[in-house]
Chain A
Amino acid sequence: SQTIHQWPATLVQPVGSPLSLECTVEGTSNPNLYWYRQAAGRGLQLLFYSVGIGQISSEVPQNLSASRPQDRQFILSSKKLLLSDSGFYLCAWNWGRESPLHFGNGTRLTVT
């Protein structure tokens, strides 16, 4: 069966510091991969998605970036965090159109 791992679970970082969140999927190949952010009281905002290695689509202009160095690995990064980057970051995968999204357990990021 497929599993998705996301780490760390919680993270407190000062403003201006770098960020790296990692997500890996096991038990499948060629998944579509997604990064979402959920701010308090707001819906899930799609940040990036990838349909293959090295293929990244950005949905929202921001100081975040994403990379997919391997088929089942998706990384969310920032060179300098802002206070507004605080939130609940969720990685997800699916097999494409009409396929349900499978989410990881998320990373709670607090930028201080």
Chain B
Amino acid sequence: SQKIEQNSEALNIQEGKTATLTCNYTNYSPAYLQWYRQDPGRGPVFLLLIRENEKEKRKERLKVTFDTTLKQSLFHITASQPADSATYLCAPLNTDKLIFGTGTRLQVFP
């Protein structure tokens, strides 16, 4: 069955450093993958979409890579800030539906 894995342990980094979050998927080949941010008690908010024929996508301090050979997406936040603290969810497309990972909680310390 299709499986999505994100690091369940929280990622703690110092302000100003680059945060890198990992999303691995198995047993299918998504046409694209989306990343979302979720704050406690709130619904997820869309950040970026990357297609299977794109290696990298950037938006301000955010960068996403998509390696279809490794079946992996990496999500980078450069010059991280305490306001970036949240849970980040990856969501590869499975046929016509998005399947969400459990998310990785990022904590940025000043």
Contacts and interface: CB of A to CB of B under 8 A. Distances in A.
Interface of A: 36, 41-44, 46, 49, 59, 90, 92, 97-98, 100-106, 108
B100 A44 contact: yes
B44 A101 contact: yes
Interface residues of B, number: 23
The A interface is mostly helix, strand or loop, or mixed, namely loop
B41 interface: yes
B41 A44 contact: no
A98 B49 contact: yes
Given A43-B89, A103-B43, A105-B43, 9 more contacts: A42-B102, A43-B4, A43-B102, A44-B100, A46-B99, A101-B46, A101-B98, A103-B44, A106-B42
Given A46-B97, A49-B97, A98-B32, A103 B41 contact: no
Contact of B103 (A43, A46, A90, A106): A43
A10 B77 CA distance: 33
B40 to A, nearest CB: 10
A81 B101 CA distance: 26
A103 B100 CA distance: 13
Contacts of A36: 100
Contacts of A90: 43-44
